[in-house]
Chain A
Amino acid sequence: AQKVTQAQTEISVVEKEDVTLDCVYETRDTTYYLFWYKQPPSGELVFLIRRNSFDEQNEISGRYSWNFQKSTSSFNFTITASQVVDSAVYFCALSEARGGSYIPTFGRGTSLIVHP
């Protein structure tokens, strides 16, 4: 069974601070995908990144960066120089092949509040 743990329920920072959102996963599969989604106050789910289990390269996209470490089963997300617009709930998700399809299991989310 797959499981995603986002231990931080809520994080509060002041604008321009760096913040890291933790994600730890459990899976028995060797092939799987990891995701991060952003859910702003308006409610929609915004896809941020997908990483497959064979690609451990860290990724940077503007102020966002992701650190994937298979050794610790973690896929952490860092926002550099946070802004008020980053305030949202962030979900980490894991999908492994089930009957040929990859259905994501979501973590409980981390609510990020960025104060001006």
Chain B
Amino acid sequence: EPEVTQTPSHQVTQMGQEVILRCVPISNHLYFYWYRQILGQKVEFLVSFYNNEISEKSEIFDDQFSVERPDGSNFTLKIRSTKLEDSAMYFCASSERVQGDSYEQYFGPGTRLTVT
């Protein structure tokens, strides 16, 4: 069964450093998403991406964040200058459509980001 994959599973970085989290969505999916879950808290939407551009973003997704689909398979989240409060689990998701029967978002296993 196709699945969303994410690398690395765990990333440790120092405050102020740039990190890139990588995701490979399901191959026939057109819509891509990033979510964040601070330890013990709820899952929060960051950004959605379609047709090579951001379609929606939350207030969390400030200028420190960017997303890119550098090739036909990868979808990346970059944090330019990490802060301690960026420590969280980051989930990538993809969906075939945004509504209707094939709307379900399939989540990857997550990347745990630890900023020290």
Which A residues contact B (CB, under 8 angstroms)?
33, 37, 42-47, 50, 91, 93, 97-109
The answer to whether B104 and A106 touch across the interface, beta carbons within 8 angstroms, is no
C-alpha spacing A99/B58, complex, angstroms: 13
Which B residues contact A (CB, under 8 angstroms)?
31, 33, 41-45, 48, 50, 55-56, 89, 91, 98-99, 103-110, 112
The answer to whether A91 and B42 touch across the interface, beta carbons within 8 angstroms, is yes
The answer to whether B41 and A43 touch across the interface, beta carbons within 8 angstroms, is no
B42, B50, B89, B105: the one contacting A109 at CB < 8 Å is B42
Query: Taking the nearest CB of chain B, how far is it from the CB of A63, in angstroms?
Result: 21
B44, B50, B91, B103: the one contacting A102 at CB < 8 Å is B103
B residues less than 8 Å from A103 (CB atoms): 33, 45, 48, 56
A residues less than 8 Å from B98 (CB atoms): 100-102
Query: Taking the nearest CB of chain A, how far is it from the CB of B98, in angstroms?
Result: 4
A residues less than 8 Å from B89 (CB atoms): 43
A residues less than 8 Å from B109 (CB atoms): 42-44
Interface on chain B toward A: helix, strand, loop, or mixed SS?
Answer: strand
Query: Taking the nearest CB of chain B, how far is it from the CB of A64, in angstroms?
Result: 16
C-alpha spacing A97/B103, complex, angstroms: 12
Interface on chain A toward B: helix, strand, loop, or mixed SS?
Answer: strand
C-alpha spacing A98/B98, complex, angstroms: 11
A residues less than 8 Å from B50 (CB atoms): 101
Known A44-B110, A45-B43, A47-B104; judge A101-B91 contact (CB<8 A).
no
The answer to whether B42 and A107 touch across the interface, beta carbons within 8 angstroms, is yes
C-alpha spacing A103/B99, complex, angstroms: 10
The answer to whether A33 and B103 touch across the interface, beta carbons within 8 angstroms, is yes
B residues less than 8 Å from A108 (CB atoms): 41-42
The answer to whether B106 and A43 touch across the interface, beta carbons within 8 angstroms, is no
Most buried by A among B33, B44, B45, B50: B45
C-alpha spacing A106/B106, complex, angstroms: 15
Query: Taking the nearest CB of chain A, how far is it from the CB of B95, in angstroms?
Result: 9
